[in-house]
Amino acid sequence: MKEIQSNINIVGGGLIGASIAYSLSKLGTKVVILEQKAKFNHKKILDKRTTAISEGTKKFLEEINIWKEIGNYAEPIKKIQIIDRNQSNKIYFDNQRRKSNLGYIVKNEFILDILYRKLKEQNNVKIFNNVRLEDIFYEDNRIISKQNNFFVNSNLLLASDGKNSSIRKIFKTPIYSKDYKKKAIVINFYHSKNHNNIAFEFFFNNGPLAILPMQKNKNYFQSSIVWTNTNEFINSLLSLDDNKIISILNKKIKGSIGEINKIITKQTFPLKAHLNSKFFEKRIVYLGDSAHSFHPIAGQGWNLGMKDVESLYNLVKKYNSLGLELGDEIFCKEFQKDNFFKAYRLYQITDKVDSIFKFDNSIFNHARFSAINLIERSKKIKNKISDFAMGVN
Ligand SMILES: Cc1cc2nc3c(=O)[nH]c(=O)nc-3n(C[C@H](O)[C@H](O)[C@H](O)COP(=O)(O)OP(=O)(O)OC[C@H]3O[C@@H](n4cnc5c(N)ncnc54)[C@H](O)[C@@H]3O)c2cc1C
């Protein structure tokens, strides 16, 4: 059977796998990507979500020279309005202090399309689609993956195979996990009024509803809603026709972007979060959702995965400059040291924010009302929260 030699073998070619492959290709590293899905074609991508890209992620995308292309499809978020139940209880965030945007909304299919187009131009990257991973084993200081009809022999294997990582299952890496027993529905739609680059987040007791500003499509104002609610509610919402869904949504969003007039796509995602107890095994590093996944309340999952990517990129750069071998135990432990705590912190923050907003009794409502008032009046706290959303702290 054919054996392919590489420095790094990347299992999973989603948003994180494609990003790390592209970053490493810039360092001259020989990379193989194994993706289980059929040949990449953005018109066939089923993921209709958008991603809120933070300022921190944008900076890294600039460093690896790909932001220019992605930026063409990005709609800036200039302000964020947080609304707790009723319109009078609000917090406004903007970008006055740092004179930059709070984030950028891009369709996932565009990010992947650009990454794959650029990857195909790199001669140190080999992409294999339709791959079925069968086994992983070691020979001296190499790690070898066996697929349907070929082997990949490398120094290091990167597991970027998503939240249900098959590599994590093969190695029985323990995880902490939480099933919120809820779903997020993502609806892309046209609406009547300009969003003016404002993102809205309404907190209802069954979960948050975010409105994310998208680029105009021809002459149509376009946005995306991410609404978390109980499984029963989302299932019954989906059983309705689009006109009924539109009238429910219009009541919820209270004219913030005018009236919704057409639904373009709708998709649901089960809400589960997890954190691997460690981010490595022998000659394996977990990146992105294979290492951690979160409640999407803060829109930070991919952004944190991109911190993993940046950290791995810097580690490979350092090892290359020192002439050290990639993927040994010290390498893997250094990656863990740089990234585990950030993920643990986000896991805790997203989980706690969800709990704070869901309680609906007079004591909690009063406490929340006071806290929101305090945040709205305190520049210092607001700046800290904006820095967190921008991924620059
Ligand atoms: C509703 C919702 C909204 C979100 N919004 C945001 C947001 O605004 N901002 C943000 O930062 N994050 C957001 N996130 C999180 C973000 O989408 C994820 O963190 C990100 O997509 C993870 O990318 P990934 O490449 O790690 O995993 P995935 O996208 O799951 O990719 C994994 C890839 O590995 C492949 N694969 C799996 N097993 C194998 C195998 N055995 N062999 C080969 N290939 C394999 C899969 O086919 C897939 O292509 C959101 C999440 C949800 C649910």
Asked whether residue 123 is domain-assigned, the answer is yes
Of all residues in the chain, the percent with pLDDT exceeding 90 is 72
Mean pLDDT of 356-362: 62
Atom of ligand 1 nearest to the CA of 302: 11
pLDDT of the residue at 335? 98
Nearest CA to ligand 1 atom 28: 162
Mean pLDDT of 49-74: 95
Is the per-residue pLDDT at 364 higher than 80?
no
Residue 305 alpha carbon to ligand 1 centre in Å: 9
Asked whether residue 94 is domain-assigned, the answer is no
Mean pLDDT is lowest, of 7-21, 153-167, 199-213, for 199-213
Atom of ligand 1 nearest to the CA of 16: 25
Query: Within a 13 Å sphere around the CA of 286, how many CA atoms are in the beta-carbon half?
Result: 32
Atom of ligand 1 nearest to the CA of 165: 38
Residue 288 alpha carbon to ligand 1 centre in Å: 8
Contact 291, 341 (CB under 8 A): no
Mutation pick for ligand 1 pocket among 9, 35, 112, 133 (CB with most ligand atoms within 8 Å): 35
Task: Express each pLDDT in 63-81 by its tens digit.
Answer: 999 999 999 999 999 988 8
Is the per-residue pLDDT at 24 higher than 90?
yes
The domain tally of the chain equals 1
The mean pLDDT of the chain is: 89
The residue with greater pLDDT, 322 or 87, is: 322
Mean pLDDT is lowest, of 3-12, 121-130, 349-358, for 349-358
Asked whether residue 117 is domain-assigned, the answer is yes
Asked whether residue 68 is domain-assigned, the answer is yes
Residue 90 alpha carbon to ligand 1 centre in Å: 31
Ligand 1 pocket residue status of 34, Cβ below 6 Å = yes
Atom of ligand 1 nearest to the CA of 226: 1
* CATH number of the CATH domain containing 157: 3.50.50.60
Per DSSP (E only), the strands in 216-283 are 221-230, 260-276, 280-281
Q: What is the dihedral of CA 190, 257, 386, 61, to 10 degrees?
A: 20
- Other C-beta atoms closer than 10 Å to the C-beta of 213 total 27
Task: Express each pLDDT in 192-230 by its tens digit.
Answer: 999 999 999 888 888 889 999 999 998 899 999 999 999
Ligand 1 pocket residue status of 49, Cβ below 6 Å = yes
Asked whether residue 130 is domain-assigned, the answer is yes
pLDDT band at 391 (very low <50, low <70, confident <90, very high): low
Nearest CA to ligand 1 atom 30: 162
Mean pLDDT is lowest, of 96-110, 251-265, 322-336, for 96-110
Contact 36, 13 (CB under 8 A): no
CA angle 107, 109, 110 (to 5 degrees): 70
Contact 386, 102 (CB under 8 A): yes
Asked whether residue 337 is domain-assigned, the answer is yes
Atom of ligand 1 nearest to the CA of 186: 1
Mean pLDDT of 331-360: 85
Pairing status of strand 31-34 against strand 8-11: parallel
Residue 303 makes CB contacts below 8 A (sequence gap 6+) with 52, 53, 54, 56, 57, 391
pLDDT band at 334 (very low <50, low <70, confident <90, very high): very high
Asked whether residue 225 is domain-assigned, the answer is no
Ligand 1 pocket residue status of 303, Cβ below 6 Å = yes
pLDDT of the residue at 160? 98
pLDDT of the residue at 362? 61
Q: How far apart are CA 286 and CA 339, in angstroms?
A: 10
Q: How far apart are CA 349 and CA 11, in angstroms?
A: 29
Mean pLDDT of 360-372: 60
pLDDT of the residue at 352? 79
Check residue 130 and report its DSSP letter: S
The position carrying tokens 């970053």 is: 23
Ligand 1 pocket residue status of 289, Cβ below 6 Å = yes
Asked whether residue 387 is domain-assigned, the answer is no
Ligand 1 pocket residue status of 199, Cβ below 6 Å = no
pTM: 0.91
Atom of ligand 1 nearest to the CA of 288: 26
pLDDT of the residue at 98? 59
Q: Where are the alpha helices (DSSP H) in the chain?
A: 15-25, 55-63, 67-71, 108-120, 166-171, 231-238, 242-253, 301-322, 329-358, 362-377, 379-390
Domain with 339 in it: 2-74+109-177+274-357
pLDDT of the residue at 255? 83
Mutation pick for ligand 1 pocket among 10, 16, 48, 178 (CB with most ligand atoms within 8 Å): 16
The position carrying tokens 């140190």 is: 124
The residue with greater pLDDT, 267 or 391, is: 267
Is the per-residue pLDDT at 316 higher than 80?
yes
Mean pLDDT of 367-385: 60
Is the per-residue pLDDT at 100 higher than 90?
no
pLDDT of the residue at 85? 65
The position carrying tokens 């009238």 is: 247
Task: Express each pLDDT in 170-190 by its tens digit.
Answer: 999 999 999 999 999 999 999
